[in-house]
Amino acid sequence: MDTPDSIFVNNIFVIGNEKTQKNIILRELDFGQGYYYDLDTFLEIIQADRNKIYNLRLFTSVEITPLFTGGDQVEVLIAVKERWYIIPSIIFQLADRNFSEWWTNQGRDFSRVNYGLRVSHSNVGGRNEKLRFSGQLGFTRALDLRYSKPYIDKKQKHGLAGQFTYFEQKTIPIRSANNRQLFFTSETEDVLRENLTAAIQYTFRRTFYNFHFFTLGYTSTKIDPEVLVQNPTYFQHGENKLQYLYMSYSFRHDNRNLAAYATKGELLQLSATKYGIFNTKDIDEIEVSLTANKYLSLNDRFHFVTGLTGSWFLSQRQPYTLVRGIGYSPNFIRGYELNVIEGQQLYVHKNSFRWKFIDWEIDVSSVMPLEQFSTVPFRFYLSANFDHGYVKDRNLIPENARLTNRYLFGYGLGIDLVGFYDSVFRFEYSLNNQGEGNFFLNFKAPF
């Protein structure tokens, strides 16, 4: 039978969605039943739609198969395998900026570990609603509650989310010197910082890849008076309590094939935040940021990733709780993981050329009865990396002058592992333009 130049979609069938409602899946489709499509265009559409459905992070696998029933007539079968949605997990994580900071600068101090319990439901009611609660002890004692509903209307364009977070710390960073964080603990081991944040967020998804976020929140931070003795500019208004409303807008264009570790597509995010609304006595600040990443797939084995990040504060000095710079997630230059380079403006350009040399999927169904865990994927990439950037510090702090207000770069090689449930592990050796080299371990993709 000759292949037609165009096809007509008769029906769309979805199987495997025992929990997930069908309309959540159909929302991601760029085609519908009852329409004609150019065949080549249609094949490109279903590949893109497969990625969109997988990036919901509700399924371990997604397959879209056109079934020709005669002539130009097509039935479309969407087969999904659902993840395990309710996941209780033990919190055991480092409180420091990254593993290398803890291992080298903090001397592998196990008192700087957070532990507790987190319960997440990633598909409440089968509607892709997210519910997360965590209780944490250790270096930082915290409570966190978040709920998000991606669609509150029939056309599935408008969503809402809310979050409440409380934490307290007995050891806190109070400033930096020699481009390293300095921490302070009182002799009586009192709580030095208490923080409460509550926020509500409205989302608007007009098209498949474009998202708008509007957030209104409240933050209250109280510090022990001894902190102001150690750093009189920790806050700027001379008091030990900082309270403010904040409002932010973000635009996000996300067209990546895999959100956890993309190899093709692009990501663009622009945001602006106003700290201090109505009452600006404590703080009156504006922050603007930009992220632009491009993922270029050369073939199935090789791809190149490049990403530009910028962040700007309008004022000359900020409360230390808002200080930004290279070394604070997600802004880093490989080779400078042990440093913090603080300022009011930063620019980072990251680059990686990667080769996938192992791509395995291990069937463990004989020893694992749960279908959601019956296969374990492993993908290994060898990466060659080059990052560079700049931090502008308008205050020209002398003890940090070695790395601020100057061009910085780092380069090296690494091995990335992408594993079960989109987990990512990176093991890298990097050098910087100060002549310093080291091994670094990270637990998320750099882009």
Express each pLDDT in 300-347 by its tens digit. 999 999 999 999 999 988 999 999 999 988 899 999 999 999 999 999
Name the more confident of 284 and 238.
284
- Please give the C-alpha separations between residue 24 and each of 14, 154, 157, 399, in angstroms, as whole numbers: 11, 11, 12, 54
Q: Which amino acid is present at 287?
A: E
Q: pLDDT tier at 408 (50, 70, 90 boundaries)? A: very high
Instruction: State the Cα–Cα distance between residues 351 and 14, nearest whole angstrom.
Output: 39
Range from 15-29, 214-228, 419-433 carrying the lowest mean pLDDT:
419-433
Query: Tell me, what's the pLDDT at 79?
Result: 97
Give CA angle at 138 (134, 144), nearest 5°: 20
CA distances from 44 to 40, 49, 66 (A): 7, 9, 12
The whole-number average pLDDT for the span 77-82 is 96
For residue range 375-388, list pLDDT tens digits in order: 788 899 999 999 99
Q: Residue 96: is its pLDDT beyond 90? A: no
In tens, the pLDDT along 362-373 reads 887 777 776 666
Q: Which of 436, 374, 381 is nearest to 408 (CA)?
A: 436
Per-residue pLDDT averaged across 91-114, rounded? 82
**pLDDT reading at 404 higher than 80:** yes
Tokens 């990686």 -> residue: 352
**What does the angle CA 129 – CA 250 – CA 59 come to, to the nearest 5 degrees?**
30
Please check the confidence at residue 106 and state whether its pLDDT lies above 90: no
Bridge partners for 198 per DSSP = 164, 218
- What is the predicted pLDDT for the residue at 350? 97
Mean pLDDT of 252-281: 94
pLDDT tens, residue by residue, 107-124: 888 888 888 888 999 999
- Alpha carbon 150 to its chain centroid, in Å, reads 17
Residue 151 has pLDDT above 90, yes or no: yes
What average pLDDT is seen over the chain? 92
Taken in order of first residue, the domains within the chain and their CATH numbers are 6-82 (3.10.20.310), 86-299+307-334+396-404 (2.40.160.50)
- Give residue 345's pLDDT: 96
Residue 86's H or E segment, with its range, is: strand 86-94
The secondary structure element, H or E, covering residue 173 is strand 171-177
**Exposed, middle or buried, 190 (CB in 10 Å: 0-12/13-18/19+)?**
exposed
- pLDDT (average), residues 29-56: 94
- Looking only at the bridges linking them, the beta strands covering 158-169 and 171-177 are unpaired
Q: Are residues 48 and 30 in contact, defined by beta-carbon separation less than 8 angstroms?
A: yes
Quick one: average pLDDT of 435-439?
91
Secondary element (H or E) of residue 182: strand 180-185
**pLDDT, average across residues 56-65:** 94
What would the two tokens of residue 26 be? 């159909």
- Joined together, the tokens standing for residue 396 give 């020209």
What band does 4 get if pLDDT is binned at 50, 70 and 90? confident
pLDDT for 123:
93
- pLDDT over threshold 70, residue 2: no
* Lowest-pLDDT choice from 4-8, 51-55, 93-97, 398-402: 93-97
Q: Is the pLDDT reported for residue 95 higher than 90?
A: no
Q: How many CB atoms lie under 10 A from the CB of residue 291?
A: 19
Q: What is the mean pLDDT of residues 51-69?
A: 93
Element (H, E) at 52: helix 39-54
**Tens digit of each residue's pLDDT (9 = 90 or more) over 163-211:** 999 999 999 999 999 999 999 998 877 899 999 999 999 999 989 999 9
- The sign one gets for the Cα dihedral 432, 434, 439, 442 is negative
Q: Does 1 score more than 60 pLDDT? A: no
Residue 87 has pLDDT above 80, yes or no: no
Residue 27 has pLDDT above 60, yes or no: yes
Which contacts qualify for 409-412: CB closer than 8 Å, 24 or more apart?
A: 409/333, 409/335, 409/433, 410/333, 410/334, 410/335, 410/336, 410/385, 410/386, 411/334, 411/335, 411/385, 411/386, 411/387, 412/334, 412/335, 412/385, 412/437
Tell me the C-alpha distance between 157 and 153, whole Å.
Answer: 7
Tell me, what amino acid is at 367?
V
What is the reported pLDDT for 372?
Answer: 66
pTM: 0.87
- Quote the CA–CA distance of 145 and 272 in Å, as a whole number: 24
